[in-house]
Amino acid sequence: MPPEKRKPFARKQTTRKPALKKKKPAVFSKQMKMALVGLLLILLSPLYYGYVLSGFVATWRWIKDWGQDPNYRTYKSFNIKIPKKYTVHGIDVSYYQGKINWSKVKAMKEDEVKVSFAFIKATEGILQVDPYFQRNWREAPKAGIVCGAYHFFRPKKSGRAQAKFFLQVVNIEKGDLPPVVDIETLDGVSPLRMRLELSDFLTYVEMKTGVRPIIYTGLKFYEDNLEGKLDEYPLWIAHYYQPKLKLDKSRWKFWQHSDKAKINGIGHVVDFNAFNGDSTALANMLVH
């Protein structure tokens, strides 16, 4: 049927019943109120905050130490990380550290770490004497610290002349550590020329003192210029901020592992060293 002829459909009117009003539930039951009061008392308790704080500190330490070598940890007193597998530690100083209170250096200790030895700069090249050498050389042994003197080597200068100059300044005596030659740079000469002059220095010092000197150098310089050469001489190697010295342990005696140590009695940061051995082994190295 066409839409215009359809009769309209009459709908019955319906009346809606008014909705029943639901009772609002109580916001807090008696049990909930008691629970909230208990929680509030806990939150206001100093013991709670102490517990939370201790948990936070423990978590922070875990995050900080996660993945770290347990044998290489920070010592707060010294303000550096120190390898834990070594029992004998020491420093090396020059004029840069200024006037040192050696009694305070000797007294400093954290756990079992303390300064047992010190290498002291004496000379450089053929003319320079460290202005603090004589004072350090005199005062450090008085405080009970074993000492050794070192010469900063200049490859452009005669090795023999440098050795003579060094021995004019330093009187090596019984109880001292062996003398040290510090070689860090080629100064524009070839590695071969450097080794020839260095060999002359070492030979002359050993001949005059009867003591075999120690060679100090950085790990990279050693690998590039000295590895496999002059192997009869003890090594003191600089290799910083590492849990382990990346060199065969049979090859070295001392390891300078940091240049940022804070030491009581010294106004500037200091190089920190580990000895490859115990106190008896260190005593056996001393001049007899």
- What would the two tokens of residue 63 be? 């995050």
Catalytic residue among 92, 130, 176, 182: 92
Count how many residues are written for the chain: 288
Element spanning 32, H or E: helix 30-43
Q: What is the Cα–Cα distance from 147 to 238, expressed in whole angstroms?
A: 18
Angstrom distance (rounded) from CA 43 to CA 81: 39
Pairing of strands 113-124, 146-152: parallel
- Report angle CA 195, 200, 201 to the nearest 5 degrees: 95
Residue 64, by phi and psi: left (phi above 0), alpha (psi -120 to 50) or beta? alpha
Strands annotated E in the chain = 72-75, 80-83, 89-93, 109-110, 113-124, 128-129, 146-152, 180-182, 214-218, 235-238, 254-261, 270-275
Whole-angstrom distance, CA of residue 56 vs CA of residue 53: 5
Looking at 65, 110, 111, 184, which residue is catalytic? 184
β-pairing, 254-261 with 72-75? Answer: unpaired
Is 173 one of the catalytic residues? no
112 in catalytic set: no
By annotation, the residues acting in catalysis are 92, 184
